Amino acid sequence: MPSENEITLGPKRSDGWRKVSAEVSGKDVSHLYYGPAKVRVGRHAAVTMACIGGVGTDKQHRRKGLARRVFAQAVAAMQGDGYTVAGLFTSRRLVAHRLYRRSGFVDVSSGRVAYKVLDPAAFARRGLSFLVQQSPELGRRRLTLRLCFERSRTVYLKIEGNDVSVLSRAPRRLDLSLTMSPTTFLELSASGIGLSQAVGAKLVQWSGDAGAFDTLAKAIAAFQRPVDEE
């Protein structure tokens, strides 16, 4: 565990960015970067904000208070550099969000997006293929699925031998039927939430074989983005 003086503030680069890091046995295990960006406050004022990015702590060094100390050192360094305001993008799902809030940062704005699935079959196939790549267990099992996206047509798919194929019609034997919005599917297949969690939140309706559901839920859980990533 490094002592306070082992949190180091890197030199200012030509573009104004700096690195703040904690080292253990000479190895950088927790760090962040900050640098200048102009933000407008109304029509007549542009303020140079310290933008924070690249926040990360090695997995084996998390939950030791390192990120908190790096962050505190960085905030002090930003004040020393003359910044009057600091900002960062993060996710409310990350533990780091709580760290930032404890440090006084407030949620200023959250994003909105609108989705349209242009090709439901390709969309579903791509998402499931990603899952199969991440979870070999899923690829070892033969599964037939019915995926129904709101406002889009239903897609039938088959997972077999690490391959995902789109079926032209409903298979004779269907293992699992899932109905969800495209955004939920994106979250499930990309990183966001677990399948059981999504069912609990009524984001997904399902019917079919419980074993097939478990296999899919485990596959998604296996690669879910850790909430303490930062």
Partner 1 sequence: MSPRRKEMTIRSFREGDEQVLAHLFNAYVSDFVGPIRLTPRAWRAQFRRRSWTGPSLTDDSDCCRIAEAEGRVLGYALTDYKPFWREDTAVVQELCAVDESGAEDVMQALLADAEQRALAREKSCLILTLSPEDGRSSGAAASSGYEEHREHEVFMALVLDLSGFLEEIAPTLSARLAESLLREWRGSVKILSGDQSFGLLCADGSVTVGPALDEPDVTLAVRPEALSLLLLGRETIGELYVQDAVSLTAADAAEALSLLDALFPRLPLFLPRAQWW
- Residues 56 and 188: their CA atoms lie apart, in Å, by 23
Tell me the Ramachandran region of residue 124: left when phi exceeds 0, alpha when psi lies from -120 to 50, beta otherwise.
alpha
Q: In this chain, which stretch among 18-26, 99-107, 134-142, 216-224 interacts with partner 1, using CB under 8 A? A: 99-107
Nearest distance from residue 99's CB to partner 1, in Å?
11
Does 136 participate in binding partner 1 (rule CB under 8 A)?
no
Nearest distance from residue 197's CB to partner 1, in Å?
13
- Residues 195 and 199: their CA atoms lie apart, in Å, by 6
Structure-token pair, residue 72: 């505190």
Does 151 participate in binding partner 1 (rule CB under 8 A)?
yes
Does 128 participate in binding partner 1 (rule CB under 8 A)?
no
Decide whether 99 or 212 has the Cβ nearer to partner 1: 99
Residues in 9-48 at the binding interface with partner 1, rule: CB under 8 A: 37-45, 47
Angle made by CA atoms 125, 219, 212, in degrees to the nearest 5: 80
- Residue of 20, 66, 86, 164 interacting with partner 1 (CB under 8 A): 86
Query: Are 157 and 167 in contact, with CB atoms under 8 Å apart?
Result: yes
Does 202 participate in binding partner 1 (rule CB under 8 A)?
no
Q: In this chain, which stretch among 118-126, 166-174, 206-214, 220-228 interacts with partner 1, using CB under 8 A? A: 118-126
**92 phi, psi to nearest 5 deg:** -65, -15
Nearest distance from residue 172's CB to partner 1, in Å?
27
Does 223 participate in binding partner 1 (rule CB under 8 A)?
no
Query: Are 164 and 129 in contact, with CB atoms under 8 Å apart?
Result: yes
Decide whether 36 or 65 has the Cβ nearer to partner 1: 36
3-state secondary structure of 103: coil
Would you tell me how many other CB atoms lie within 10 Å of the CB of residue 36? Answer: 14
Q: Considering CB under 8 A, how many residues would be counted as binding partner 1?
A: 61
Distances (CA, A) of 226 to 91, 110, 149, 230: 12, 21, 27, 9
Point out which residues bind partner 1 (CB under 8 A): 37-45, 47, 49-51, 53, 75, 78-79, 82-93, 97, 100-101, 103-120, 122-123, 126, 150-151, 181-183, 186, 190, 192
